Amino acid sequence: MQREKRPRHWASEIAALPTKEQRQEHLNKVPPQWQALVKSHVEITFFVNSKRKES
């Protein structure tokens, strides 16, 4: 039995990609009902990481 990916799993894969273009391309592969949530998770990840670098 194969389980569908959850939004945080999609987000972690996308956040690990090296370029913005690759991240956007991968986001387009996310099921439409999850795209907004996954995008939020990725944005939050980058925000938190940028704050960690500042301190």
Give 10-residue mean pLDDT values along the chain (55 residues): 84 96 97 97 95 85
Question: Tokens 């301190």 map to which residue?
Answer: 55
Confidence (pLDDT) at 19 = 96
3-state secondary structure of 19: coil
Q: List, as own/partner pairs, every contact residues 6-10 make where C-beta atoms lie below 8 angstroms and the sequence separation is at least 24, other chains included.
A: 7/34, 7/37, 7/38, 7/41, 8/41, 10/34, 10/38, 10/41
Confidence (pLDDT) at 1 = 52
* Rounded Cα distance, 33 and 6, in Å: 11
Confidence (pLDDT) at 55 = 78
Report pTM. 0.87
Integer Rg of the chain from CA: 12
Domain ranges of the chain: 21-55
